[in-house]
Structure 1
Amino acid sequence: MDVLQLLVSGLANGCVYGLVAMGFVLIYKATEAVNFAQGDFMMLGAFICLGLTNPQFMGLPFWVSVPVAIAIMGVFGYALDLVVLRRMSGQSQIAVIILTIALGFVLRFVAGLIWGHEPISLASPIAGKDIRLGGVVLGMDEIMVIGVTLAMTIALYFYFNRTKLGVAMQASSQNQLAAYYMGIPVKRIQSLIWALAGMVAAVAGILFASKGSIDPSIGLLGIKSFAAAVIGGFGSLPGALLGGVIVGLIEPFASRYIAAGYAQIMPYLLLFVILIFRPHGILAQVHQKKV
C-alpha cells in the first residue's frame, strides 16, 4: 500500500513536470530556442488563477477563473513573441536564452510585488478531498492532475497530427524556409506556439496550485522540468511527459527508500547518466533537416 501511495503521488508531481517540459519542447521545436522562463510561466498562470478565484482578490468561481487564466497566459505568450522575441530575430540562441532567464527573474519579482512571497493557497473545490481504496488514500487533486495531463497529451497529439494549424506548426518547426515558401505564415505560427506554451504552462500551474500553496519561487521548478525534457528526449512531446513522470517518481521513492536529502539530487543524477549513455534522451527524435 505504501508503494501505491508513493506511486500516485509521484505520478501527480511528474505530470506537472511533464506539462512544463512540454512547453520547453514546443518552443524548441518551433524556434530552436530554449525558454528558461517556462517554469515562471507556470508560476504566473497559477497566480493569475489565484487572483481571479480567491475572495480577497476578485472572487470569481473556480471553474470560471481557470479558462480565463489559461486564455490570459495564451495572450501573454503571443504578445511576448510579437513584441519582444521578434526583435531578437537574427541574434544568437544564447542571446535568446539569456533574455528568457532575465524574463524569469522579472516575472518572479512582479509576482512577489503583487502577491507577496508568503505561500498562498488556491481556493480549489477539490482541495483536501480524497478517495479511500482499501488502505490507500488518493487525493482528488492528484487524480485530477493525472487525468487532466492524460487528456491534454491526447488533445495535443490530435492537434498536431489531425488539424491544419497543428500540421502547419510541425512543418514550420521542421524547416522554416520551406514552410514559408509553401505559404505558411511562419512568424504568426511561432507566436501561436508561444501562446500554446503559455496555456500549457498555465494548466500546469493551476494543477500544481490545486495540490498545495504557491509562492513566486515555484517558477524555479522549470529547471527540474528542463531536466525532465532532456531525459525524455528534447524535441519529443511524449518524451517530455515520460521524462516528467520519471522525475516525479524518482523523488518520493528516493526520499522513502534512500534518504530524504537525496530526493532533490536524484533527477539531476539521472540526467547526468542519460547525457553520458544516451545524450539525445530516452525517446530521441534525431533527424537531419531537409535543405
Structure 2
Amino acid sequence: MTALNSRSYWHGTRWREIARHKGWKLVNFLQLTLNGLAVGCIYGLVALGFVLIYKATELVNFAQGDLLMLGAFVAYMSVVWWKLDYWVAFLIAGVLVAVFGALLDAVVLRRVIGQPQFAVVMLTIGLGAIFRTFASVTWGSEIYTLPTPFGGVTTIGGVTLSHQYLSIVVGTLLLCGLLYLFFTHTRIGIAMQATSQNQLAAYYMGIPVKLIFSMIWAISAAVAAAAGILLSPVTLIDTNMGLAVALKAFAAAVLGGFGSIPGALIGGIIIGLIELYAGATLSEGLKNTAPYIVMLAVLAIRPQGLFGTLARKKV
C-alpha cells in the first residue's frame, strides 16, 4: 500500500470503522442508561416508602417490598380475574393496599413505637414473611404476567425505548409530583410535615398524631403498590418479587440519606444505574454487589448519606 493509499484508507475506511464503533458504544450506553433509570425509579419509589415512615415514626418497615408484591397481585386479580380496565385495577390496588397499610399501623405497629429498634425490625421482617406465606397460599407459587397498555417499543437513533420502561419513568414523575403538591399545598400534608419534625409540638397544636401516622403508612403502602404494578410487566409477578427490590431500595434510602425524600429518589436512580452499568461491564457476581459497594464507599466518606443531615430530631 502506497503512502497516498494509506492516508486515504486512514481518512476514509478507518475513520468510518472508528465512528461506527464509537456509535455502537454510545447506543449501548444510552440503552443502559434508559433501562437503569427505569429500574432506579422503582427503587426510588420503594425507598420513598421507607423514608416517609421513618421520618414520621422512626420505624423501619422491612415489609415494604412485600406490600409491593401484594399490590401487584391485587392488580393482577383485578385485570385477569375480574376483567377490569388496567387503570381501574391500578386505582383499586392502590386504595386496598393503602387501607391495609393504615390498618397495619393502627392494629400492630403502633404498639411497638418506643420499643428497641431490634424488636421493630424483627416484627416487620416477620410481617413480611406472613405476607409472602399468605400470597403463596392464595395465588400459589406460579409466575404471573400482568397485561398492560404499554406493550410497544419506539426506536430512536438505534436506542430502543420500551413503552413499559417509559411508563415506569413517567409514572414515577407523576407520583412524585402529586406527593409534592400534597405535602406542600394541603392542610393534611402540612400536618404530616409538622408531625415528622416534632410529634409533641404537633400534638399540642391539635394535630391528631396517631391518625397522621396511619395516613403516612397508607401513603407509603400505596406508593409501594404503584411500584409493584409498574414493575410487574418487567419482572413478572411472584411471591418473592419484593425481596430483592426492598434490599436495593433500602440501600438507595441509606445512600440518599435516610430521612431525605429527594435523597431516596436520587439514591434509587443511582443504584439502578450502577446495577445496569455493572451488569454490562463486570462479571455476574459483581453485578448484584456493585450497588452495595458504592453505598459503603459513600457512607465511608459521608456517613449521613448524600442528602442526609447529622442533626438529631427532638421529640
TM-score, with structure 1 as normaliser: 0.95
Specify the structure having the higher radius of gyration (Cα). 2
Unaligned segments of structure 2, at least 5 residues: 1-26
8 Å CA contact 1:52, 1:65 repeated in 2: yes
CA distance in 2, matches of 1:239, 1:89: 25
- Residue 212 of structure 1, CA deviation: 3.7
Q: Residue by residue, what CA displacement relative to the aligned partner does 1:199-230 show, whole Å, maximum 9, x if unpaired?
A: 00011000000324121111212111000100
Q: Does 2:155 align with 1:135? A: no
Identity percentage over the alignment? 50
> Which residue among 65, 71, 92 is the counterpart of 1:45?
71
Q: Does 2:198 align with 1:172? A: no
- Residue 179 of structure 1, CA deviation: 0.6
Aligned AA (1:144): S
Q: Residue by residue, what CA displacement relative to the aligned partner does 1:126-146 show, whole Å, maximum 9, x if unpaired?
A: 13x111112111110100100
8 Å CA contact 1:122, 1:212 repeated in 2: no
Q: How does 1:1-291 map to 2 (within 5 A)?
A: 1-54=27-80, 57-127=81-151, 129-220=152-243, 221-290=245-314
Unaligned segments of structure 1, at least 5 residues: none
Q: Residue by residue, what CA displacement relative to the aligned partner does 1:25-80 show, whole Å, maximum 9, x if unpaired?
A: 000000001000001111111111111111xx222121111100000011001111
Aligned AA (2:58): E
8 Å CA contact 2:57, 2:113 repeated in 1: no
- Larger displacement relative to structure 2 (18-27 or 81-90): 81-90
- Residue 118 of structure 1, CA deviation: 2.4
- Residue 87 of structure 1, CA deviation: 2.4
8 Å CA contact 1:53, 1:60 repeated in 2: yes
| Paired residue secondary structure (2:292) | helix
Q: Residue by residue, what CA displacement relative to the aligned partner does 1:100-122 show, whole Å, maximum 9, x if unpaired?
A: 00011111111111122222111
Matched pairs, number: 288
CA distance in 1, matches of 2:115, 2:296: 30
- Residue 259 of structure 1, CA deviation: 2.1
8 Å CA contact 1:108, 1:219 repeated in 2: no
CA distance in 1, matches of 2:131, 2:257: 28
Change in CA separation of 1:225 and 1:207 when aligned onto 2, cut-off 3 Å? same
| Higher share in helix | 2
| Paired residue secondary structure (2:78) | helix
8 Å CA contact 1:13, 1:248 repeated in 2: yes
- Aligned residue number for residue 8 of structure 2: none
CA distance in 1, matches of 2:103, 2:276: 38
TM-score, with structure 2 as normaliser: 0.88
- Residue 150 of structure 1, CA deviation: 1.2
- Residue 290 of structure 1, CA deviation: 4.9
- Larger displacement relative to structure 2 (271-280 or 221-230): 271-280
